[in-house]
């Protein structure tokens, strides 16, 4: 799977709590058809085997649309499922050498909320960093809110692409114009909508216009 800066334009992250009884696989396929450029599976409180099984299922759909498939916060699942990469938290910069574990061919994303951690993530071999929260997020609780000016400073401090995350939706994407990000990562702005295809299509148009 070829990974480029363009792959990060509209980075969609799964969350089963938003879709009720709907099929995650079907919802993922809808969002990929409508313009999502990257997909991350984010699962909490499920077994290893179930996480691997769900990851394999979604990876196959992503392969169909030539979209990178990333596993959140579980290196073992990412490797076992044949995912294109893994996304980890900023604590993993200090606690383990993720790049050496996953090898040079896998995509590595790391979440950060400061210039210092952004620089550390790049040195640790990250292919991209996720920066936020940008706004209050229904999925991130009491996350630290970063100003667009500070996000711009983070972008200028590293040579790898930056994805903005946290509370991003149709209404606030315009505030991200010109700050240097490669794309936006969303959860509820897609999976919190009844029509994920329409939501994705609208977001992609906005991203293409402002980012």
Q: Which residues are annotated as a binding site?
A: 40-44, 72-73, 92, 111, 137-140, 167, 187-188
Cβ neighbors of 105 (< 8 A, separation 6 or more) are: none
Q: Which residues are annotated as a binding site for Mg(2+)?
A: 73, 92
In angstroms, the CA 62 to CA 56 distance is: 10
Joined together, the tokens standing for residue 26 give 């079907």
3-state SS of the chain is CCCCHHHHCEEEECCHHHCCCCCHHHHHHHHHHCCCCEEEECCCCCCHHHHHHHHHHHHHHHHHCCCCEEEECCHHHHHHHCCCEEEECCHHHHHCCHHHHHCCCCEEEEEECCHHHHHHHHHCCCCEEEECCCCCCCCCCCCCCCCHHHHHHHHHHCCCCEEEECCCCCCCHHHHCCCCCCEEEECHHHHCCCCHHHHHHHHHHHHHHHC
Tokens of 58: 């979604």
User: Catalytic positions, please?
Assistant: 42, 111, 140
């Amino acid at each position: 799977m070829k990974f480029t800066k363009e792959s990060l334009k509209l980075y969609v992250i799964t969350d089963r709590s938003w879709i009720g009884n709907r099929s995650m696989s079907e919802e993922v396929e809808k969002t990929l058809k409508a313009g999502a450029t990257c997909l991350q599976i984010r699962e909490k409180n499920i077994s290893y085997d179930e996480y691997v099984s769900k990851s394999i299922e979604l990876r196959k759909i992503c392969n169909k649309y030539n979209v990178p498939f990333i596993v959140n916060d579980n290196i073992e699942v990412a490797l076992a499922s044949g995912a294109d990469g893994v996304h980890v938290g900023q604590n993993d910069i200090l606690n383990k050498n993720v790049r050496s574990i996953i090898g040079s061919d896998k995509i590595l994303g790391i979440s950060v909320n400061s210039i210092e951690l952004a620089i550390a993530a790049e040195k640790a071999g990250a292919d991209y960093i996720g920066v936020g929260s940008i706004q209050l997020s229904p999925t991130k609780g009491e996350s630290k809110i970063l100003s667009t000016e500070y996000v711009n400073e983070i972008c200028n401090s590293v040579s790898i692409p930056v994805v903005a995350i946290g509370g991003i939706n149709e209404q606030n994407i315009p505030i991200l114009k010109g700050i240097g990000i490669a794309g936006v990562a969303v959860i509820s702005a897609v999976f919190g909508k009844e029509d994920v295809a329409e939501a994705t299509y609208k977001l992609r148009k906005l991203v293409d216009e402002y980012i």
